[in-house]
């Protein structure tokens, strides 16, 4: 199968790729794991270094005149709000004989409605005894205030009833006066009026008696409400457990740190826009992923597999270099050390068929400044790129990181293999690398992906024809073959050979 030139097709790119976001957040697990651990340590430290003050709890049964079975808890919430008033705080402080200000004292206690009629009061103090005394003073002050409000309401009702009774008495006196005056008169009409007045006097007398009885009852108050409001649980100290508090605060800190870490990692992944999937890296660079290697040292049980993967990669690159009539280079992005190791392994394999010199174009002369060991290939600095002997095969090693001198890359090789660390460069920079290499007419053979995501299931092979970044790769062969007449040659396909680092199936 050959890949031919195709017209550009418009591909719908999602505004937020959840797959990419999940992979990017998972790759930044060190960040959110560290924040979660910091939250755990801070929470535990706060519980140990700043333990909760001694506290005491008491419960008060509150009876309401407007109690209803369907009450949603409005009355008890009103009682909780009344508990946090300066009047009750001041009454409790007077009972405690404390000079503390009510506003300051209100910070040391709290109330909570357990049911529609059960109020829990929690108070703190310097010691358990002080906390218990504060809780009892608050409960007594609240009960006294509640009873006083009931009594004031009863007194106001009794006063209103007595006022109404007095008004009716005045009216009764006028009726009695009218009856006395009408009894001296004679006539049929006078007898009818007297009968009406007698009926009115009887009604007023009955109402006056009723208002008097109701006023007497109201003045006494509502006994069941007064008796029903009482302390049902005596104040007692709450035992504090330091290990339990440390575990609780540590768990809270762990959750908060984890949430913060995940949020920071998610926002950073979206803002940075650093491709981590092989599909995105291949699309942005315009070259297929031909191999994958881990970035960090593998575990003991994977070292043999990693070594086999490196050997396969070295053998594949060696066959490519031997079959190429143009010099080949390795250009790194975010993995200079790994690229140096790959270059030295490749040079050792190529040295079996002739002299090889490794041209070090990496920043800082990481290869040319190293101590050579017996059997290592010759390593020269970048200044010797054009001063080697014709018998020596050159293998250039350079970088495409920001700050690269793009015009010097052709001296390292007109064909290159990009060694890219996943998630290191942004999508914009990968585009820049592809365009700059195309402008320098440097053919990208393929991409070696370092530190791939082990759960990545995307395809790193380009199947949709030549990429835009390859625009300069087909002009040179066309001119060399006399294609000045406008002919274009078809690019030979690169078969993507993936070198896995896990039990994942080779695709």
Domains and CATH numbers, the chain: 55-238 (3.30.1890), 275-485 (3.40.50.300)
The pLDDT tens digits of the residues spanning 317-348 come to 888 888 888 888 999 998 888 888 888 888 88
Q: Is 49 exposed, middle or buried (0-12, 13-18, 19+ CB in 10 A)?
A: exposed
DSSP state of 353: G
Out of 56-60, 134-138, 272-276, pick the least confident. 272-276
Mean pLDDT to the nearest integer, 431-456 = 89
Going from the C-alpha of 311 to that of each of 169, 293, 304, 341, 374, the distances in angstroms are 117, 11, 11, 12, 20
Distance CA 378, CA 351 (A): 10
Mean pLDDT to the nearest integer, 288-304 = 73
Going from the C-alpha of 34 to that of each of 29, 38, 480, the distances in angstroms are 8, 6, 57
- CA 479 distance to own-chain centroid: 57
Split at pLDDT 50, 70, 90, the class of 226 is confident
Split at pLDDT 50, 70, 90, the class of 213 is confident
Supply the pLDDT for residue 229. 87
Better pLDDT: 372 or 186: 372
Q: Tokens 């365009």 appear where?
A: 435
Beta bridge partners of 415: 328, 443
The pLDDT tens digits of the residues spanning 87-115 come to 999 999 999 999 999 999 999 999 999 99
Beta bridge partners of 379: 358
Distance CA 466, CA 309 (A): 28
Supply the pLDDT for residue 252. 94
- CA 136 distance to own-chain centroid: 43
Going from the C-alpha of 107 to that of each of 82, 102, 122, 344, the distances in angstroms are 14, 9, 11, 71
Percent of the chain with pLDDT over 70: 80
Supply the pLDDT for residue 41. 94
Split at pLDDT 50, 70, 90, the class of 482 is very low
Mean pLDDT of the chain: 80
Mean pLDDT to the nearest integer, 453-478 = 59
Supply the pLDDT for residue 293. 85
Supply the pLDDT for residue 7. 41
Split at pLDDT 50, 70, 90, the class of 485 is very low
DSSP state of 455: T
The pLDDT tens digits of the residues spanning 5-29 come to 344 444 455 666 777 788 888 888 8
CB atoms within 10 A of CB 415: 18
Distance CA 51, CA 41 (A): 15
Beta bridge partners of 356: 393
Distance CA 91, CA 98 (A): 10
Supply the pLDDT for residue 298. 56
Question: Per-residue pLDDT for 474 more than 60?
Answer: no
E-strand ranges in 44-103 read 55-61
Distance CA 446, CA 492 (A): 12
Radius of gyration of the chain measured on its C-alpha atoms: 46
179 contacts 194 by C-beta, under 8 angstroms: yes
Supply the pLDDT for residue 503. 39
Mean pLDDT to the nearest integer, 384-413 = 80
Supply the pLDDT for residue 299. 60
Supply the pLDDT for residue 134. 94
Supply the pLDDT for residue 274. 85
Which is it for strands 109-113 and 118-124: parallel, antiparallel or unpaired?
Answer: antiparallel
The pLDDT tens digits of the residues spanning 340-362 come to 888 888 888 888 888 888 888 88
Give the dihedral of Cα atoms 437, 438, 441, 446; nearest 10 deg. Answer: 70
Supply the pLDDT for residue 185. 58
Mean pLDDT to the nearest integer, 365-372 = 64
Query: What order do you get walking across the sheet with 230-238 strand by strand?
Result: 109-113, 118-124, 55-61, 230-238
Residues 6+ apart with CB under 8 A from 262: 25, 32
Going from the C-alpha of 99 to that of each of 102, 232, 383, the distances in angstroms are 9, 29, 85
Distance CA 251, CA 319 (A): 56
The pLDDT tens digits of the residues spanning 247-256 come to 999 999 999 9
Split at pLDDT 50, 70, 90, the class of 389 is low
Out of 360-364, 384-388, 441-445, 482-486, pick the least confident. 482-486
Lookup: tokens for 13? 């790119």
């Amino acid at each position: 199968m050959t890949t031919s030139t195709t017209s550009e097709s418009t591909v719908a790119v999602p505004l937020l790729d959840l797959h990419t976001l999940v992979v990017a957040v998972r790759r930044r697990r060190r960040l959110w794991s560290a924040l979660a651990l910091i939250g755990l340590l801070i929470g535990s430290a706060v519980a140990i270094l700043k333990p909760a003050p001694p506290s005491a709890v008491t419960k008060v049964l509150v009876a309401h005149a407007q109690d209803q079975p369907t009450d949603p808890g409005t009355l008890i919430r009103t009682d909780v709000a009344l508990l946090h008033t300066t009047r009750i705080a001041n009454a409790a402080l007077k009972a405690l004989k404390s000079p503390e200000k009510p506003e300051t004292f209100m910070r040391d206690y709290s109330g909570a409605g357990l049911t529609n009629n059960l109020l829990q009061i929690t108070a703190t103090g310097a010691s358990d005894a002080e906390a218990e005394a504060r809780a009892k003073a608050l409960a007594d002050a609240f009960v006294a205030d509640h009873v006083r409000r009931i009594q004031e309401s009863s007194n106001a009702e009794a006063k209103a009833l007595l006022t109404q009774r007095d008004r009716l008495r005045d009216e009764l006196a006028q009726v009695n006066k009218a009856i006395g005056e009408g009894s001296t008169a004679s006539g049929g009409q006078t007898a009818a009026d007297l009968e009406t007045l007698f009926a009115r006097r009887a009604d007023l007398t009955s109402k006056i008696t009723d208002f008097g009885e109701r006023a007497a009852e109201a003045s006494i108050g509502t006994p069941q409400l007064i008796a029903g409001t009482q302390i049902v649980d005596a104040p007692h100290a709450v035992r504090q457990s330091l290990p339990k508090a440390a575990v609780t605060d540590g768990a809270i800190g762990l959750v908060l740190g984890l949430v913060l870490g995940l949020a920071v990692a998610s926002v950073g992944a979206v803002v940075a826009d650093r491709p981590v999937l092989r599909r995105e890296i291949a699309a942005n660079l315009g070259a297929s992923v031909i191999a994958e290697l881990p970035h960090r040292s593998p575990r003991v049980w994977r070292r043999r597999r990693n070594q086999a993967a490196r050997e396969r990669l070295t053998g594949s690159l060696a066959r490519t270099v031997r079959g190429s009539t143009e010099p080949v280079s390795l250009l790194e992005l975010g993995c200079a050390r790994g690229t140096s190791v790959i270059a030295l392994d490749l040079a050792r394999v190529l040295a079996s068929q002739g002299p090889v010199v490794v041209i070090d174009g990496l920043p800082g002369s990481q290869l040319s400044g190293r101590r050579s060991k017996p059997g290592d290939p010759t390593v020269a600095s970048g200044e010797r790129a054009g001063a080697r002997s014709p018998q020596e095969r050159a293998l250039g090693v350079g970088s495409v990181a920001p700050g690269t001198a793009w015009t010097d890359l052709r001296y390292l090789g007109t064909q290159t293999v990009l060694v890219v660390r996943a998630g290191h460069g942004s999508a914009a920079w990968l585009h820049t690398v592809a365009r700059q290499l195309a402008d320098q007419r440097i053919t990208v053979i393929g991409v070696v992906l370092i530190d791939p995501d082990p759960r990545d299931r995307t395809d790193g092979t380009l199947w949709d024809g030549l990429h835009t970044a390859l625009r300069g790769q087909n002009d040179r062969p066309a001119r060399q073959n006399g294609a000045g007449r406008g002919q274009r040659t078809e690019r030979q396909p690169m078969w993507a050979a993936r070198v896995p680092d896990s039990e994942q199936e080779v695709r």
